[in-house]
Amino acid sequence: MFRKSLAPDQGMLFIFEKECLPGIWMKNVRFPLDILWLDQNKTIVDIKKNALLCGAYCEVFYPREGSKFVIEVNAGFANKYQLSTSQSVEFNLP
């Protein structure tokens, strides 16, 4: 929240204790994002491309399936890297 931008090679990772249906909204976000929901195996279960900024109303975006991780990246990232559901994502947690 309140960031003016996000570097092209960076993202924001949200980790949940267990799989759930985490709702994501764009309140106080100043640029559009792609939102990736991943299950406990780091497999993409849903993607919201080009989530737009809030106006008078903030839409809440939910995944179609349970998710343990959410990654937010710049809008266009999912298309640029041809991401789709059922693909695995690799990242290491500390």
In a domain, 87, yes or no: no
**How far out from the chain centre does Cα 80 lie?**
15
Q: Is residue 92 part of a domain?
A: no
Strands 44-51 and 12-20: unpaired
User: At residue 78, does pLDDT exceed 70?
Assistant: yes
CATH, residue 36: 2.60.120.1140
The pLDDT tens digits for 36-58 are 999 999 999 999 999 988 888 99
Classify residue 60: in a domain, yes or no: yes
User: Would you say residue 55 lies in a domain?
Assistant: yes
Mean pLDDT of 50-73: 94
Instruction: List the structure tokens of 8.
Output: 């092209």
Q: Is the pLDDT of residue 94 over 80?
A: no
The predicted pLDDT at position 44 comes to: 98
Q: Are 80 and 49 in contact (CB under 8 A)?
A: no
Mean pLDDT of 1-20: 89
Q: How far apart are CA 18 and CA 21, in angstroms?
A: 10
Residue 55: domain span: 12-80
- Looking at the structure of the chain, the number of domains it has is 1
Asked if residue 89 is part of any domain, the answer here is no
Residues in Cβ contact with 9 at an 8 Å cutoff, skipping those fewer than 6 apart: none
Mean pLDDT value across residues 29-35: 93
Within 8 A by CB and 6+ apart from 41, the residues are: 88
How far from each other are the two terminal CA atoms of the chain, in whole angstroms? 23
Asked whether residue 86 is domain-assigned, the answer is: no
For residue 58, being part of any structural domain is answered with yes
